[in-house]
Structure 1
Amino acid sequence: GVPPALVLGWHRALARDHRTPATVARLALPLVLITVALSAWTTMDRFDDHPGPTGTAAALTVRAEHGLGDQEARALIEADDRVGTVHPGLEIAALVPGQTGTIGLRGIGGRDDPYPFPVVEGRAPERPDEAVAGQGLLDLLDVRVGDWVRVTAGEHPQILHIVGRGIEPENSGRVISTSLDTLRQNDPGLSPAFHQVLLKPGADPEEVRTALLEASRGLLDIQEATTPGDRFSPVLGVVVGLVAVLALIGLIELSTAVGGSVRAGERDLLALKAIGLSPSQITAVTLTAIGSTALLAVTVGAVLGVPLAHWLIDAEARSSGIGAGVARTPSGPHLLLLAVAAVLGAVCLALLPAARATRRRFADTVNAVG
């Protein structure tokens, strides 16, 4: 029940032509690289669209100015009904054994109302002395999730149990975070330096920021939470350019594959006419052959490109201290759109040459075969 043009086209592309593996490999290479580039784009978009899992659960960071007290600042923030939770916090420089440089020691929230530290390995702190560390700190101290570490802030040592690893873009990942109550155990004089503000679902951070600035009359310094995507936004232009260059390379390889398929069709032209195929059916044979080759190349590109992209992005994030677990690959619909675009592009590119080949005169066809 399958049209003969499709059967003959599949046979030419997949069963008979010994050049097909090389053609597929040449077409798949730019598609693999395009998949990697799109994965990098998807990862950077995720930082902006879903910042919670990447280390920034709070939407706003608020600091009191001009002598405004902690309680007064908190009252001003909580007066806006779009504010969900307010977590007091501070970050101080600390020393670790065997290192001359400092790390970031962060305390946010309390035991009764803990800050929702996003973690990609282990779990969030739940009990006293538990903490979440960045990959940079784990590498610096050569420890892992589950170990205990000693950090010293001023004259006050803190012994913390690392129960989770978070995506930490600040200070090359050399940050350890716990609750403010845990830090106050050894240093009761610590006071909040800022407040992390979590908004209710649907609230716009810019609108809330503007409203709080007006309500406080300049007594609050309010900044929207930064994400790793803010740093990588200039890279998006490079990714777009890279995808365009790779698409051009793929188009050139596709043109070469179309030429080879059309020449193969010319050798079969007499035989196809002899078995009664019409010119449109003969054209369909060539289009099916090149479309099948392009589809196979897209499949190989996706199968190889997705895991390669995941590995490369996580390896780069780990080496930079941000930490593995940030990589995201294009969604199924996006990969399907890439496949459809590649196959349709191949068919459209082959349409005119294939149609011309079927109209060649008998003598020209004999000469081509010879």
Structure 2
Amino acid sequence: LARGALGLRLPSALVLGWHKAFSRRPRSLATLARLALPLLLIVVAMSAWTTIDRFQTRPDQIGLAAALTVRADETLTDPDVRALLARNPQVDAVHPGVEVAALVPGQTGTIALRGLGTYEDPYPFSLAEGRPARGPDEAVAGQGLLDLLDVRVGDWVRITVGAQPQILHIVGRSIEPENGGRVISTSLDTLRENDPGLGPALYQLQLRPGADPQRVAAELTEAAHGDISVHAVPNPADGLSPLRGVVVGLIAVLALIGLIELLTAIGGTVREGERDLLALKAIGLTPRQITAVTVTATGCTALAAVLVAAALGVPLAHWLIDAQGRSSGIGAGIALGPSPGLLLLLGNPGDHGVDADRFDVTRLGKEHLAFGHGV
């Protein structure tokens, strides 16, 4: 392959540098593995960071479409509450609902049964599998409930609310960060079919982009003269904020390890270049071209390590984060890999200051040997 590349009149320094990086397979693979391992762990850490950031910046994608929950006093009727909430310009949508504790066959503990939205205005559930619940008796369930009942999307389940049974068809798996994922959600109209007198007990509010939930909650409470209670929907990411510092520290340590491995690879390449120095001079390469061979060899090894780390690190990060999501009941589908910009930054840490005019590999004397052994 190297002979063919030289025959195509490609720059000899680039071809020889590439050949030097990958001609000695056992040593090249060992160097590649040492460089790729810390980079792979950095990709996993960056995926954890972007997933936490997704919880905070895009809560609608992880099952938190509503920012506020409103509960009204018995003195207010449903039309009165809707009119009060609609008057606030920061409220984008109002979804009436009810949440009750229910029993499932073979279990002594209760699960959460939610009726949110209507057929005409369905609640925007975040689905990781299946489709939204649009028709009668259709529902979406969290991973915790699917594991509890040992069912899958497409199965029918029987739920008991008080003494009244409710048979629902699970058509999708929703991302449920609350109640360990042991939640099954349908529309309020479906629950009204068994209990026509059932009215909304709460209202889930979607706010306009950029709206401050605390400020909107204060405005609604003031406008209702205390007849309603407004609470912010808890975000699981609020308890993960200290983890950001751990991720930053981990990335810094791994970057230092990767830098040490890179310097070791540079030192090894410089030492090996001494044996080829006379041969490269004999075929007419200039000192600048010989330096380019060394730099290209190191750069090819580092680039290959970055590609291997990105190719293996992103799937590994998704698997680890989704496995954690399944074990906690939230479910798979919450993982988010690092952006292409972060991956490019990982592969381009900046100019390391290699200047071919000053870094002359042809002067490999005791100074360079001492430098190689020191590294």
> Normalized against structure 1, the TM-score is what?
0.89
Deviates more, 1:53-62 or 1:288-297: 53-62
Q: Is residue 2:229 matched to residue 1:228? A: no
Distance 1:164 1:248 in 2: 45
Within 5 Å, which residues of 2 pair with 1:292-311?
292-311=300-319
- Corresponding residue for residue 180 of structure 1: 188
Q: Is residue 2:256 matched to residue 1:212? A: no
The amino acid across from 1:141 in the alignment is L
Residue-by-residue CA offset, 1:60-115 (whole Å, 9 max, x unaligned) = 22222585444333221111133222111121111111001111111112223222
Mapped contact 2:67–2:207 kept (Cα < 8 A): yes
Q: Is residue 2:55 matched to residue 1:47? A: yes
- Corresponding residue for residue 325 of structure 1: 333
Mapped contact 1:156–1:187 kept (Cα < 8 A): no
Distance 1:363 1:84 in 2: 70
Distance 1:104 1:266 in 2: 72
1:279 to 287, 291, 310: 287
Within 5 Å, which residues of 2 pair with 1:155-194?
155-194=163-202
CA 1:172–1:166: 2 relative to 1, 3 Å: same
1:124 to 132, 149, 158: 132
- Corresponding residue for residue 363 of structure 2: 359
Deviates more, 1:246-255 or 1:179-188: 179-188
CA 1:292–1:194: 2 relative to 1, 3 Å: same
Residue-by-residue CA offset, 1:128-186 (whole Å, 9 max, x unaligned) = 11111000000100011111111112222211111111001111100001112222332
Count of residue correspondences? 361
Mapped contact 1:62–1:223 kept (Cα < 8 A): yes
Deviates more, 1:133-142 or 1:250-259: 250-259
- Corresponding residue for residue 142 of structure 1: 150
Distance 1:317 1:221 in 2: 31
- Corresponding residue for residue 5 of structure 2: none
RMSD over aligned Cα atoms: 2.6
Q: Is residue 2:342 matched to residue 1:334? A: yes
Deviates more, 1:103-112 or 1:169-178: 103-112
The amino acid across from 1:11 in the alignment is H
C-alpha displacement at 1:273, in angstroms?
Answer: 3.2
C-alpha displacement at 1:54, in angstroms?
Answer: 1.3
The amino acid across from 2:101 in the alignment is A
> Normalized against structure 2, the TM-score is what?
0.88
C-alpha displacement at 1:204, in angstroms?
Answer: 4.7
Deviates more, 1:64-73 or 1:35-44: 64-73
- Corresponding residue for residue 63 of structure 1: 71
Could you say what secondary structure the match of 2:153 adopts?
Answer: coil
C-alpha displacement at 1:275, in angstroms?
Answer: 3.5
- Corresponding residue for residue 261 of structure 2: 253
2:270 to 262, 276, 279: 262
Residue-by-residue CA offset, 1:271-290 (whole Å, 9 max, x unaligned) = 33344433333222211111
Deviates more, 1:143-152 or 1:62-71: 62-71
- Corresponding residue for residue 109 of structure 1: 117
For structure 2, the residue ranges without an aligned partner over 5 or more in a row are 1-8
CA 1:274–1:179: 2 relative to 1, 3 Å: same
The amino acid across from 1:155 in the alignment is A
Mapped contact 1:287–1:351 kept (Cα < 8 A): no
Deviates more, 1:143-152 or 1:43-52: 43-52
Mapped contact 2:62–2:175 kept (Cα < 8 A): yes
Deviates more, 1:250-259 or 1:294-303: 250-259
C-alpha displacement at 1:292, in angstroms?
Answer: 0.9
Distance 2:366 2:167 in 1: 89
Mapped contact 2:91–2:206 kept (Cα < 8 A): yes
Deviates more, 1:252-261 or 1:8-17: 8-17
The amino acid across from 1:358 in the alignment is T
The amino acid across from 1:138 in the alignment is L
C-alpha displacement at 1:201, in angstroms?
Answer: 5.0
C-alpha displacement at 1:124, in angstroms?
Answer: 0.9
Mapped contact 1:148–1:159 kept (Cα < 8 A): yes
Distance 2:268 2:368 in 1: 18
Distance 1:177 1:330 in 2: 32
Distance 1:362 1:187 in 2: 90
Distance 1:150 1:17 in 2: 61
- Corresponding residue for residue 6 of structure 2: none
The amino acid across from 1:53 in the alignment is Q
Distance 1:46 1:363 in 2: 51
2:203 to 186, 195, 200: 195
Deviates more, 1:138-147 or 1:52-61: 52-61
CA 1:143–1:361: 2 relative to 1, 3 Å: closer
Deviates more, 1:267-276 or 1:65-74: 65-74
Mapped contact 1:59–1:224 kept (Cα < 8 A): yes
CA 1:253–1:360: 2 relative to 1, 3 Å: closer
Could you say what secondary structure the match of 2:85 adopts?
Answer: helix
Deviates more, 1:184-193 or 1:65-74: 65-74
Distance 2:264 2:125 in 1: 53
Mapped contact 2:155–2:169 kept (Cα < 8 A): yes
C-alpha displacement at 1:18, in angstroms?
Answer: 4.7
Mapped contact 2:290–2:361 kept (Cα < 8 A): no
